[in-house]
Amino acid sequence: MKLKKLTALGTAAVMLACMAGCGTAAEEESGFSVAMITDTAGINDQSFNQSAWEGLQEFSKASGVEVNYLESKQSADYVTNLERLGDSDADFIWSVGFDTADALVEVAANNPDLRYAIVDNSYEDTPDNVTGVVFKAEEPSFLVGYIAGKTTTTDHVGFVGGIENAVIRQFMYGYEAGVSYAAKEMGKEIQIDVQYAESFSDAAKGKAIASKMFSEGCDIVYQAAGGSGTGVIEAAKEAGKYAIGVDRDQAYLAPENVLTSALKKVGKAMSIVSEKVMNGEDFGGQTLSFGMAEECVGIPEENPNMDPAVYEDAMKIAELIKNGEITAPATEEEYTAFLESLK
Amino acid sequence: MLNSVTLLIAITLMYSTPMVFAGLGNLISEKTGVINIGVEGMMTIGAFAGAAVCYFSGNAWLGFLCAGLAGGMLAVLHAAASIVFQCDQTVSGIAVNLIGPGAALFICSLLFEGATSTQPVSDKIPKIFGDISAEGILGNLNMDVTVVIAFLMAAGMWLLFYKTKWGLHLQAVGEHPAAADTLGIKVNRLRFGCVIASGVLAGFGGASVTLGIVSQFTPITIAGQGFISIAAVIFGKWTPHGAYGACLLFGFAQALTVLLGGGESVIPSQILAMLPYILTIVMLVLFVGRGVAPKASGKPYEKGSRT
Amino acid sequence: MNKIADALKKPVIRILAAILLGLMAAGVILAIAGYPPAASIAALGKGIFSKPKYISNVIIKSTPLIFTGLAVAFAFKTGLFNIGAEGQFIIGCLASTLVGVTVKLPAVLQIPLILITGMAAGAAYGGIIGLLKAKFGIHEVISGIMLNWIALYLSNYVCMLPAFRKGDTNGTDQVSEAGRTLILGAWKKTGEGAAVLKKIPVFGEILLKTDANIGFVIAVLTAVVLAILLKNTIKGFELQAVGYNKYAAEAVGINIRKNILEVMLIAGAVAGLGAALYITGNSPHKVTVLSAFEGMGTNGLGVALIAGSSPIGCIFSGLLFGGLLYGGQALQYEVGAPTEIINITIGTIVFFVAIIQGVPKLLEKYGGRRKGHAE
């Protein structure tokens, strides 16, 4: 009898504590606030989710705006997380990753008064309260491909992808085009090996594939493979060859073996858009594209392992891309057409 | 040709080493009758501890040892639950698999300013042939020293089980603890020690990934190797040499996947990725068949009971 | 002492005590890390209970976990460790989606078709494990783990085949509207539907803002069916006998091999049913390329074990898991604590559930001794 009472008391105590939490929702009008949800890769994926959050944090520091995030563990979390953010006092909600596209459409339709944006996705029919933000990842990839082509001494380079999808294909075709362009410039043939790790989280697989490429004669391997890609960089470190990083400056992983990185400044683009929305602009129903011209993709300024002459040449190519004289391909058709134009 | 063969060997050994450590860990626990499916969690905390200690101290071997320590400490939880509290060993194994990675990521975020990955270490586990060039045959075969350590551990365990008195005691405890008890063997104490040993070994396995294969700990560094090592132990019919062989087989299949892949391959990449797992099942059907776990596996021992 | 021992023998008390201890441990860890423990637990509670739609989301999140928990628990009753539940769930999702996308029937036929497809696919996949064990003696843990990975890559391969892939995306099309099991799914999307629902206080919000679907009801029904099967039928008795003592069962004439196969078929079917309901009931209603396991089966293991392999218990432990997983995100959002604390909390609860099982025995052992001496 006593124990039953105790249990009842205990359960009641726990419930009271929870209810107490419910009561403290005094909404403070604290001004503009921005929030984001990650896709299932998580906030610490050392790739675009992390870049997105870092960008938002910088934006917060610079403008005093409150920022927060919700991490999604499964694809079914996208809707629930977006809804939860909608309940909080966030004024502008970011949905990071093309995986979240369908969930966002549903939530945006349910909450027509809230404003959303999505990273890495362009809809055929963008809802009125959603802004699509895409990146021309083929542009920095073209640049690093060009650099690889100019730097290789064995005329043999490689590319390791995570899992094949539209975004990774941007990286791949852009890179291949850059290598081909450099090859044409120097009047020689450069072989490009391509292999997929079928995972964004198997570093050992990435390392094994890169080791194979290095032992077959490649001296530079570019990776767009997330967690598997760190294995590629590791292989370069151990083989004494070069790797090219992606999304963020990955030189810190192997200071002597990372030639350069193809930067996709997700955070910067998000800051730009968030600031404009905060100042009253409305991009609902549109897709914004960020490339070199907008300074949201590129390569790091400091590349200790790169030949300064190659860097100079690369900057000239960057200008050509910015003013439209070179259009980096992002799909198979565009790449085939690009190769034709080189002939 | 020779290049491909040496590459195959190197990748096989690279992939299998962490699993060998974890498998031996799982084995030593199971041999004494304590089911330990928590090796995945112990590997993860070991992986983190190894990377973190190495980063702060600059010494890879110190990191390696601390990884074993961390795994052993986590194993104390499992040992206490299974032996002292005599609970369901599968349940506490699952608990360890949840607590291990959780604790690793949590402590990591405390030590590394909110990040759930450690900073890369500059001092890694040394290679067998030292700092030679990576070209050529010798270059291909220049693997981490942990590969050799794993082999020695497996050989050592074989000697332990089959050539020493201790080994006989261990096996007796796993097969018929009551009989072992009457012979004066301290059943529960031996089991407790072996479970801790299994945690230490699993911790080494985790460190062999974060200090050897890559040079940092991230949330996805240990993703399934622990469970595959459990499968390897069952495949190897609960023997050290069997477990070692099974891990090698698995690593070999992964190496094949890497070598057969690439632009020229006709087989779709995802199908190729299935290869290790399909191969394991095929080998089981063709060659291995029934395996028998130690008889007292999973049953807590109570002094005075008949079995 | 003995009173506590007696109390702890009751499973409900044990689990409540474990939850309490688990939350306390979480509080301690949070305090050590510098987060306010009371506010954190309050945030957790707020994230689960403070709005009707949160409670609804917890129920929705628990539904697939209850199914995979049942798939594991049922197999446990016969002594089989169905670690392959994850793979069975993935295959169930794949099959259900493929049928839901390619076949276009009215809802009355479409939904049962999809559900049956999911069950059949899951059953077949679970049956492989059963067959390998019955015929070749291969341990279900190995085949389960291997088949999990095979299922992952197979799903990735199939959903990207030109026949099923949606344009340039990473996955299949969404299951047709007719195939979805949301409650009033199509109606609530229309203008008038939404307007009407906005006026209804609690249920309106739940229906509008969450993926409220029939999955939970079916989960409860499935649990009841399995419980009855185990307790009240001859088949159930046979299956459990094999679990208790294989040799005795064989001596009585029960065909062990057939039973193993049947159990895995049923367990797989349950996981597959859960998968079908997950696809038809939850956004995004499609299969995409997975980089890693989503964890339905792995969490199902925990669900089954906390429930002591009891089918009805799985309903509650599924809800517990769902609540913690869903509320955990609020914890991170409100307090800034890393999401890993939820994994530690769940792990600690599971750990205490395991330990507390053994406490009555310990208490009796030490309490009893004193009693004996006194006499």
On whether both A155 and A99 belong to a single domain, the answer is: no
Domain of C305, in residue numbers: 58-313
On whether both A235 and A328 belong to a single domain, the answer is: yes
Mean pLDDT of chain C: 84
Which DSSP state fits A326? S
Residue B223: its chain A contacts at CB < 8 A? 201-202
- Is B105 a member of any domain? yes
Residue C174 to residue A11, Cβ atoms within 8 A: no
Q: Looking at residue B132, what is its pLDDT?
A: 67
Q: Looking at residue A30, what is its pLDDT?
A: 52
Q: What digits encode the pLDDT tens for the residues B77-109?
A: 999 988 888 888 888 898 999 899 989 988 988
Interchain contact A1–C (C-beta under 8 A): no
C153, C288, C292: residue with CB nearest A99: C288
Res. C110 pLDDT band, cuts 50 70 90:
confident
Q: Which residue of C has its CA nearest to B276?
A: C146
Q: Looking at residue C7, what is its pLDDT?
A: 67
For residue B39, report the phi and psi dihedrals to the nearest 5 degrees. Answer: -60, -30
Chain C residues 15-44 with a CB less than 8 Å from chain A: 16, 20, 23, 38-39, 41-44
Q: Please give, one letter per residue, the 3-state secondary structure of C206-262.
A: HHHHCCCECHHHHHHHHHHHHHHHHHHCHHHHHHHHHHHCHHHHHHCCCCHHHHHHH
Give the bridge partners for A195, in sequence order: A160
Is the distance from CB of B106 to CB of C341 less than 8 angstroms?
A: yes
The single residue listed with the structure tokens 């341990």 is C139
Min Cα distance A78 → chain C (Å) is: 8
pLDDT at C336 over 90: no
Residue B270 to residue A238, Cβ atoms within 8 A: no
Residue B98 to residue C344, Cβ atoms within 8 A: yes
Interchain contact C343–A (C-beta under 8 A): no
- Is A12 a member of any domain? no
Give the bridge partners for A44, in sequence order: none
pLDDT at B291 over 70: no
Length of chain C: 375
- Is B294 a member of any domain? no
- Is C327 a member of any domain? no
The total number of structural domains that make up chain C: 1
Which chains have 3+ CB pairs within 8 A of A? B, C
Q: Looking at residue A16, what is its pLDDT?
A: 47
- Is A18 a member of any domain? no
Give the bridge partners for C172, in sequence order: C165
- Is B189 a member of any domain? yes
CATH number at C101 reads: 1.10.3470
Supply A238's token pair.
């151990």
Residue B220 to residue A216, Cβ atoms within 8 A: no
C13, C291, C339: residue with CB nearest A71: C339
Cα gap B60→B124, rounded to integer Å: 5
Cα gap C167→C164, rounded to integer Å: 9
Q: pLDDT exceeding 70 applies to what percent of chain A?
A: 91
Question: What number of C-beta contacts closer than 8 Å exist between A and B?
Answer: 94
Per the model's pLDDT, the better-predicted residue between B261 and A96 turns out to be A96
Res. B18 pLDDT band, cuts 50 70 90:
very high
Cα gap A52→A273, rounded to integer Å: 12
CATH number at B65 reads: 1.10.3470
Min Cα distance A235 → chain B (Å) is: 9
A46, A196, A237: residue with CB nearest B269: A196
Q: Give the H or E element holding residue C29.
A: helix C11-33
Q: Which residue of A has its CA nearest to B252?
A: A208
Residue C42: its chain A contacts at CB < 8 A? 17-18, 20-21, 24
What average pLDDT does range C268-295 have in this prediction? 88
On whether both A173 and A95 belong to a single domain, the answer is: no
Decide the pairing of beta strands A297-298 and A191-196. unpaired
Alpha carbon of residue C236 to chain centroid: 22
On whether both A166 and A109 belong to a single domain, the answer is: no
Cα gap A333→B54, rounded to integer Å: 48
Cα gap A235→A208, rounded to integer Å: 8
What average pLDDT does range C191-198 have in this prediction? 72
What average pLDDT does range B250-260 have in this prediction? 90
Cα gap B143→A238, rounded to integer Å: 10
Q: Please give, one letter per residue, the 3-state secondary structure of chain B.
A: CHHHHHHHHHHHHHHHHHHHHHHHHHHHHHHCCCCCCCHHHHHHHHHHHHHHHHHHHCCHHHHHHHHHHHHHHHHHHHHHHHHHCCCCHHHHHHHHHHHHHHHHHHHHHHHCCCCCCCCCCCCCCCECCCCCCCCHHHHHHCCEHHHHHHHHHHHHHHHHHHHCHHHHHHHHHHHCHHHHHHCCCCHHHHHHHHHHHHHHHHHHHHHHHHHHHCCCCCCCCCCCHHHHHHHHHHHCCCCHHHHHHHHHHHHHHHHHHHHHCCCCCCCCHHHHHHHHHHHHHHHHHHHHCCCCCCCCCCCCCCCCCCC
Radius of gyration of chain A, Cα coordinates, nearest whole angstrom: 23
Among C161, C355, C366, which would you mutate to test the B interface (most chain B Cβ atoms within 10 Å of its Cβ)? Answer: C355
Among A191, A192, A212, A232, which would you mutate to test the B interface (most chain B Cβ atoms within 10 Å of its Cβ)? Answer: A212
Residue B129: its chain A contacts at CB < 8 A? none
For residue C147, report the phi and psi dihedrals to the nearest 5 degrees. Answer: -65, -30
Residue B278: its chain C contacts at CB < 8 A? 146, 150
Q: Looking at residue B47, what is its pLDDT?
A: 95
Q: Looking at residue B265, what is its pLDDT?
A: 67
Is the distance from CB of A81 to CB of A90 less than 8 angstroms?
A: no
The total number of structural domains that make up chain B: 1
Per the model's pLDDT, the better-predicted residue between B1 and C98 turns out to be C98
Interchain contact A162–C (C-beta under 8 A): yes
Question: What number of C-beta contacts closer than 8 Å exist between A and C?
Answer: 131
Residue C146 to residue B95, Cβ atoms within 8 A: no
A209, A227, A241: residue with CB nearest B218: A227
Residue A103: its chain C contacts at CB < 8 A? 283-284
pLDDT at B133 over 70: no
Domain of A151, in residue numbers: 139-263+307-342
Interchain contact C157–B (C-beta under 8 A): yes
Interchain contact A103–C (C-beta under 8 A): yes
On whether both A334 and A207 belong to a single domain, the answer is: yes
Give the bridge partners for A335, in sequence order: none
On whether both A327 and A222 belong to a single domain, the answer is: yes
Cα gap A180→A157, rounded to integer Å: 11
For residue C349, report the phi and psi dihedrals to the nearest 5 degrees. Answer: -60, -45
Q: pLDDT exceeding 90 applies to what percent of chain C?
A: 30
- Is C34 a member of any domain? no
The total number of structural domains that make up chain A: 2
Residue C332 to residue A163, Cβ atoms within 8 A: no
Supply C158's token pair.
């199939």
- Is C47 a member of any domain? no
- Is B293 a member of any domain? no
Cα gap B43→B101, rounded to integer Å: 9
Q: What digits encode the pLDDT tens for the residues B45-55?
A: 999 999 999 99
Alpha carbon of residue C291 to chain centroid: 21
Q: Looking at residue A183, what is its pLDDT?
A: 93
List the pLDDT tens digit at each of the 343 positions of chain A. 444 544 444 454 444 444 444 433 433 445 788 999 998 888 877 778 888 998 999 999 988 888 999 988 888 889 888 988 888 888 899 999 888 888 899 889 888 889 999 999 888 888 889 999 999 999 999 999 999 999 999 999 999 999 888 889 999 999 999 999 999 999 999 999 999 998 888 889 999 999 999 988 999 999 999 888 999 999 999 888 999 999 888 998 899 999 999 999 998 999 999 988 888 888 888 899 999 888 899 999 889 999 999 999 999 999 999 988 889 999 999 999 999 988 8
Residue B2: its chain A contacts at CB < 8 A? none
What three-state secondary structure class fits A98? helix
pLDDT at B273 over 70: yes
Is the distance from CB of C267 to CB of C88 less than 8 angstroms?
A: yes
Domain of B19, in residue numbers: 2-288
For residue A96, report the phi and psi dihedrals to the nearest 5 degrees. Answer: -95, 125
Residue B213 to residue A209, Cβ atoms within 8 A: no
Among C150, C291, C329, which would you mutate to test the A interface (most chain A Cβ atoms within 10 Å of its Cβ)? Answer: C291
- Is A3 a member of any domain? no
Residue B87 to residue C354, Cβ atoms within 8 A: yes
10 Å Cβ neighbour count for B276? 22
- Is A22 a member of any domain? no
Q: What digits encode the pLDDT tens for the residues A103-137?
A: 899 889 888 889 999 999 888 888 889 999 999 99
What average pLDDT does range C183-206 have in this prediction? 72
Residues of B near A (CB-CB distance < 8 A)? 3, 7, 10-11, 14-15, 115-117, 119-120, 127, 133-134, 139-140, 209, 213-216, 218-221, 223, 254-255, 257-259, 261-263, 269-270, 272-273
Interchain contact C162–B (C-beta under 8 A): no
Q: What digits encode the pLDDT tens for the residues B180-217?
A: 888 888 888 999 999 999 999 999 999 999 998 888 89
Residue A193 to residue B263, Cβ atoms within 8 A: yes
Q: Looking at residue A27, what is its pLDDT?
A: 39
Among A198, A209, A213, A332, which would you mutate to test the B interface (most chain B Cβ atoms within 10 Å of its Cβ)? Answer: A198
Res. C292 pLDDT band, cuts 50 70 90:
confident
C46, C174, C211: residue with CB nearest A18: C46
Decide the pairing of beta strands A258-264 and A297-298. antiparallel
On whether both A254 and A275 belong to a single domain, the answer is: no
Alpha carbon of residue A70 to chain centroid: 17
- Is C340 a member of any domain? no
Q: What digits encode the pLDDT tens for the residues B214-232?
A: 888 988 888 888 999 998 9
Q: Looking at residue A290, what is its pLDDT?
A: 92
On whether both A103 and A201 belong to a single domain, the answer is: no
Q: Amino acid letter at B232?
A: A
On whether both A284 and A201 belong to a single domain, the answer is: no
CATH number at A163 reads: 3.40.50.2300
Cα gap C233→C30, rounded to integer Å: 48
Residue C355: its chain B contacts at CB < 8 A? 80-81, 85, 87, 92
Supply B189's token pair.
């104490």
Q: Which residue of C has its CA nearest to A226?
A: C291
Q: Amino acid letter at A132?
A: G
First and final CA of chain C: distance in angstroms? 17
Supply C259's token pair.
């039973």
Q: Which residue of A has its CA nearest to B143?
A: A238
On whether both A215 and A237 belong to a single domain, the answer is: yes
Cα gap B11→B15, rounded to integer Å: 6
Mean pLDDT of chain B: 87
- Is A288 a member of any domain? yes
On whether both A154 and A227 belong to a single domain, the answer is: yes
Length of chain B: 307
Min Cα distance C364 → chain B (Å) is: 12
Please state the ipTM of this predicted complex.
0.88
Q: What digits encode the pLDDT tens for the residues C42-64?
A: 888 888 888 888 888 899 999 99
Interchain contact C295–A (C-beta under 8 A): yes
On whether both A188 and A255 belong to a single domain, the answer is: yes
Per the model's pLDDT, the better-predicted residue between C229 and C163 turns out to be C229
